[in-house]
Amino acid sequence: MNLIIEQTLEAWAEAAARVVADQLKRKPESVLGLATGDTTAHLHDALVRLAQNGDVDFSQAATFQVDEYAGLARENPASCYARMDEQLFKHVPLRREHIHFPEAQWDSLSAACDRYEALIQQYGGIDLQVLGIGHNGHIGFNEPGTPFESRTHVAAIAPHTVNAKAGLFGSANNVPRWGITLGIGTIMEARAIVLMANGSAKAEIMRRALQGPVTPEVPASVLQRHPNVWVVVDGEAGRLLK
């Protein structure tokens, strides 16, 4: 596990962006797994800055989003799609046909999950998966208790996560109760993973995820078993890490 701790928010986001940029330098046609959230919004800003300076090239890359809320139209500003579009896709030369999201608006969600898995395989698998972490240790929408071998699936969003996302949707009542997420098994097949966290509210869960027992009760703890993980934290989120 490679641990990067940066004291300022700017240096932290830049460090994570460098991991993505290096991946694209090594393999311009990389398949990136991306994640939406307040955390990764900083990464996306940093990537846009690097792209504007010619320090990263997305023109041959493909992306798969780790999750999406079920039943939410893409146009809804709270959807993962709309947020990613606003933060990253509009600003870098990623080809639209290579941007992939779970088809979470479909009636037949389980068929959509299977198609998503198959499409990832067609692209040769994910080279680099970016992840944020929930306060309860979730990755994607894999909430505590999700089996480590899970594949892309429809997941119930835990009450804890519903409350954490209330601001985004105006109130907890408006937060969708279901999402489609890459499974933990799918995430673990990525060739490399970047786990990002910032702020003191994430310090304790980062300690549990990285230095506690590996258990489905803390989904991110599974990353201890992955051979190629970058953990990029700011000073506050990293303050309990040894």
Site residues (CB under 6 A) for ligand GLP?
35-39, 66-67, 132, 134, 140-141, 161
Nearer to ligand GLP, 25 or 166 (CB): 166
Half-sphere exposure at residue 5, Cβ-oriented, CA atoms within 13 angstroms: 11
Give the pair of three-digit tokens for residue 20. Answer: 């993505």
User: What's the closest the beta carbon of residue 51 comes to ligand GLP, in angstroms?
Assistant: 21
Name the helix (H) or strand (E) containing 206.
helix 203-211
Q: State the first-to-last Cα distance of the chain, in angstroms, to the nearest integer.
A: 13
Kindly list the distances between the CA atom of residue 191 and the CA atoms of 30, 58, 111, 164, 177, in Å, as whole numbers in the listed order: 11, 19, 25, 30, 31
Which residues have a catalytic role annotated? 67, 136, 138, 143
User: What's the closest the beta carbon of residue 86 comes to ligand GLP, in angstroms?
Assistant: 15
Nearer to ligand GLP, 38 or 57 (CB): 38
User: What's the closest the beta carbon of residue 157 comes to ligand GLP, in angstroms?
Assistant: 7
Nearer to ligand GLP, 38 or 85 (CB): 38
Residues sharing a CB contact under 8 Å with residue 43, sequence separation 6 or more, in sequence order: 13, 16, 17, 20, 130, 196
Nearer to ligand GLP, 27 or 161 (CB): 161
User: What's the closest the beta carbon of residue 8 comes to ligand GLP, in angstroms?
Assistant: 18
